[in-house]
Structure 1
Amino acid sequence: MADDKEDGEAPNEQPAQQGMTPEQVAELQEKIKNMSPEELREFQKKQCIFCHIVSGKVQSKKIFEDDSTLAILDINPANPGHVLVLPKEHYSIMPQLSEEEIAHLFMVVKTISNGALRALAAGGVNVVVQNGIAAGQKAQHFMVHIIPRKDNDGLNFELPQKEISDEALEALRVKLAEKLGSGVKQIPLAPQRPKMKEFLQKKAELAQKGQVDVKGVSPQPDETIVEVNDDDSDMKMEKWKKPKGAPKKRSSKEDKDEISLDDIAKVLGG
């Protein structure tokens, strides 16, 4: 995969240290060590090639930009259309971003991933985060890689499957859960509408009581039941008839931006 770099700069070489004597490097390192967090942030900005791209001092191939986020083409792509999505503010690693910033950044990632599937007729995309040196991060500016994929493109992101004992897994679970706070917290799911069978039963019960109002128990209009035949793995799908009435009009923008079932089938190899 391409390194986190732009315009040919060596990713692990600090501009401020180029052409410096060992004594000057040691002096600079001592100065950095004594900097406040604010001073260190400003110093990093001055040395960061991606901050220069954000400010316009260094040219790039921009494909998206808003108040907080920039997306550019990687000039040494792993595949054609390899995009780097980065916050305009200088952050070295992902945990430094606020929840709002990371949420917005990944909404941009989602939009660009969708665009890559359509514009480049890609069979899929890899969304890659190299968070920390041990994870392969070389740039000092946090970013997300979006890499369009096609069959037999020569890239291999297959992860090894290592064996691990139940005891080791449990020890890891406990350690991570304790670090995150008070154990594992369940995220509440959005309430689901009852299925058609439950709806009809409830409607019959209310009819027996002389009640006709069944608000709050109406089924999903286009609910789908999927039956899987274990013998031949054929999937049979049956849709309930939609209720009468004019369907809600969709805007042309919604039709254009939404991933269709054909798109999903293509990505999943269906």
Structure 2
Amino acid sequence: MTTSYCGRFAPTPSGPLHMGSLVAALGSYLDAKAHQGRWLLRIDDVDKPRAVAGAADTILQQLDAHGLHWDGEVLYQSQRDARYRAVIQQLTEQGLTYPCVCRRKRLQTLSDGYDRYCLKHPPSSSEAHAIRFFNQQAVIEWQDRRLGPQLSTSAKDAEDFVLRRRDGLYAYQLAVVVDDIDSGVTDIVRGEDLCIPTFWQLTLWQQLQPQPPRYLHLPLVMGTDQRKLSKQNHAPAIDSRHAVANLLQAADYLALERPPEECIDGIEELLQWLKKCWIRKYLNGTI
């Protein structure tokens, strides 16, 4: 039993949950419950212009309707600017940041990651600029609980990535790492489309906190067009009136055994069944 386990689900409030996000929520929830740990909920609204009014409340209602109840208070990234600013100041004092005025048009011409142009040619302090992390000890290998060893295949995995954007908004890479560290997260369970950003996140993590989390990246839910289900691709919202059916479909994507129909007597019983299936599949049958 891992009593110190702490997991989380961190949706972006650009719309309601769809089947792909329900799969991620269910997987992270089951892993936390299988370890008898805590399961936190964070609203990843650091990119404030992308947040849709009312979407966060809808997400909370959808999770609750599906029996996915979180521990503690909900954390909102949009309320944590002061914390992100303090971390950037800390990294700056350690000589690990520099301003960058390169625009998207130039960046798109670089095939091997950022070339440190602005480190070599410091811009004027009066220019609007992004802040980059001076990446001197990049993580280029890490272990995934489902996918196994992950090795860097691109120079971009070790580039000097952005911590704060030109428009003043804090970057996703910074926010998620700082939030996970501050919340005591030990295990991150999410979709495998986020494997690539993990290189940057672990690089930043090792600078701020010596003990990195464990990762488990889940299979993606694909649409009929073979693209990942996402809000950008207009994936339909899940209908909370059909919570049991939704959970069964999500379990299918996670390759968890369905219970006999006579054993389904509500959401709580279904989640208990799925937790046992998760233990057999990912914890070798024991906790």
With the shorter chain as reference, the TM-score category is under 0.3
Bigger helix fraction: 2
Higher Rg of the two aligned structures? 1
TM-score normalized by structure 1? 0.21
